[in-house]
Chains A and B, each alone.
Chain A
Amino acid sequence: MLIRTLWPWLVAALFCAGVIHILVVFGVPYVASRDAWARLSSLSDENRMYVLPVAASETPLPFMAPDIAYAFCRFDLRDKNVLVETGLGDTTWSVAVSTRHGENFYFISGADAKRRELRLLLVPRQRLAREASTERSEEGKEQNIVIVPGMEGLAVLRAPIRGPSFAADTVAALQNAKCQPLKQPLVDPATLSDGLVLPEQRDPADIPN
């Protein structure tokens, strides 16, 4: 008798539990207050490279490899493209560029790059069509254009340390890495949402040389 009375409620409860389950699973990435982005935001400014201490007792992220030196840059492309420059100590060094949720859309290791210096020009997808970016900088240096799906994200350099005696040298090499906005100003980001921007609508001062 009790079951007969309750079963519609139990069926409704199962359905409602499914909805709650889906909402929680999809919502967690957007409400998590301790994800990698939040943890790194608390100790960094945007568009600057930071080298993390190796094998520190307190690391900003859990399970960070103690024999890898890390450097990271939280980039914001709303105003300007960002240039990431680093040397590649050996074939095991790598640079990963990800969204703020940690989804990598670009990865290159020293073994792939086949050169000792790496320049990555980060350009948002929605601005790519109007950019005059090329795979060679104004100074004639080779650069890889990385198309970024959003306006912000993380560039993370990982440099495996070959042994304790190499730690200081590896960290010192990482400290030469740079992450900075390009000098020339770009299109006003306010015009980005409406899609097309005609050349005459742009401030001549904003047009890259």
Chain B
Amino acid sequence: MKNFFSFLIFAGTSLVLGLGSADYLIDDGFALVVSRAGPWQTWVHAGSLGADPYTRAHIARTGLLPITSASGLTYFATTDSKGRTLDSECEYEIVARPLAALWWTIAVFDKDGKLIPNKAARHAFSSQSLTILPDRTQRITLAPAARPGHWLPSGDVGDLTLVLRIIRPLGVEGGEVTSRVDADSLPRIRRVSC
């Protein structure tokens, strides 16, 4: 009876720890495979032939189809810059500075990756559709109701995910052009009201 009890503890601990840790790290990653910059995070090896097992598992599980980080970067944000979960009922200001890249776009989705239906049929703004203001910033207002300027409708879907795609990022390191983006240059997400 004592051995049976011990075996139950062994089996339960093994399964909970083994499956739980795998589930957590495949979903959220860790410092070696996920790069975080403020509210933005990206799986750095996604889409690469030499991707690590955690990245491969994450991509398979989520159904994403990434391109390599040398060709494009995809950042996800589920919180604002202060770490509060993005909520469709709140109003946010997304402040970007022109990124050194061939093209970039910010789109809003629900937490499952679906577009949010809205009468304006607006789901994203790109580097070509955003006006550069006199202070050299580009601003988007994410809100459920119409706002002046670049308004991105958030509907009433609850939790939101913002996705920033940068095609052909052009960073400069040591005088050489690289496929990197300075983390400080990524857009800030400020909650205006809730």
Contact = CB atoms under 8 A, between A and B. Distances in A.
A104 B102 contact: no
A105 B67 CA distance: 10
A124 interface: no
Contact of B49 (A28, A34, A62, A105): A105
Contacts of B25: 25
A104 B165 contact: no
B129 interface: yes
A156 B65 contact: yes
Contacts of B109: 62-63
Contacts of A94: 67, 71-72, 167
B167 A160 contact: yes
A65 B163 contact: yes
B160 interface: no
A17 interface: yes
A61 B126 contact: no
B64 to A, nearest CB: 6
Contact of A160 (B71, B103, B117): B103
A109 B124 contact: no
Nearest to A109: B168
| B-side interface mostly | mixed
A67 B74 CA distance: 14
Contact of B10 (A16, A104, A160, A162): A16
A38 B16 CA distance: 29
Interface in A65-112: 65-68, 91-92, 94, 96, 98-99, 101-105, 107, 109, 111
Interface string B72-92: 101010000000000000000
Interface string B6-26: 110111011111110111011
B121 interface: yes
Interface stretch (B34-42, B55-63, B141-149, B182-190): B55-63
Contact of B63 (A62, A68, A149): A62
A168 interface: no
B59 A57 contact: no
Given A35-B63, A92-B103, A101-B56, A20 B15 contact: yes
A204 B164 CA distance: 53
21 contacts: A9-B6, A9-B9, A20-B19, A21-B19, A21-B22, A24-B23, A25-B26, A35-B59, A35-B60, A36-B59, A55-B115, A57-B117, A61-B64, A94-B67, A94-B167, A96-B67, A102-B46, A104-B68, A107-B71, A149-B49, A163-B128
